[in-house]
Amino acid sequence: ELKAIDELVDGVAEHGGALVLRGEPGIGKSALLAEASRYATSEGLSVLAAAGAQSEARLPFAGLHQLLRPVLESTDELPMPQRDALRSAFGMEVKPADAFLIALGALELLSEQAARSPVLVVVEDAHWVDDPTSDVVSFIARRIESEPIVLLIATREDGQPSEAGLEDVQLEGLAEPEAGGLLDSTAPDLAPEVRRRLLDEAQGNPLALVELPKALAYQQLHGKELLP
């Protein structure tokens, strides 16, 4: 997974690209995005990020506002129709906002930023991003191949399929040797039967391997009381 992301970042000067990371909660999507952002920054890319929130899922363009907020001052450089549409979407002007012009304005804003330095766009928890923002992200994803822009989207495995036809990467659980290593680093000195039970329950999910031992009492961890 890291190799696929690094290849997109390394090739951004020649062409843009997009990738969708899918997986269950706790499987490592956020960790991958954090590492991608760190690597992109070290390679001189600007990083723009938004994270879906259940509380904002019904607020039109909430996710897009979060994503573009660091570069909103550059809207003055956009053609007037696009500038007015974006500002209307964000409540900065009271005018009718055409959906196509909003999406086009967002793309142009990213392109202007990418002309200064390549850009990594990160959308986390896309399953909670409002629908209008999702439409704009899909619009952008289909048009960045000739731009120095990389787009990474993380969503749950049951999230909606990408209408943009993007490449999907399905994140799987850790193999048992790696899962065992993570569990041992988190909860050393487990009773053998407890260690076996936790590995079976976690099914390679990194968050479960870290959090399950914290939920057990000392006596349970050491096999002196029955597990739940």
**What local confidence, expressed as pLDDT, does residue 160 receive?**
64
pTM reported for the whole predicted model = 0.89
**What local confidence, expressed as pLDDT, does residue 135 receive?**
95
Task: Compare 183 and 91 and report the one with higher pLDDT.
Answer: 183
Please count the CA atoms within 13 angstroms of the CA of 100 that sit on its side-chain side: 0
Instruction: Report percent pLDDT > 70 for the chain.
Output: 97
Dump pLDDT digits (tens) for 26-69. Answer: 999 999 999 999 999 999 999 999 999 999 999 999 999 999 99
For the cut 70, the answer to whether the pLDDT of residue 162 exceeds it is no
Ramachandran area for residue 109 (φ above 0: left; ψ -120 to 50: alpha; else beta)? alpha
62-76, 80-94, 149-163: which range is least confident on average? 149-163
Cα separation, 59 vs 132, in Å, equals 9
Cα separation, 81 vs 66, in Å, equals 21
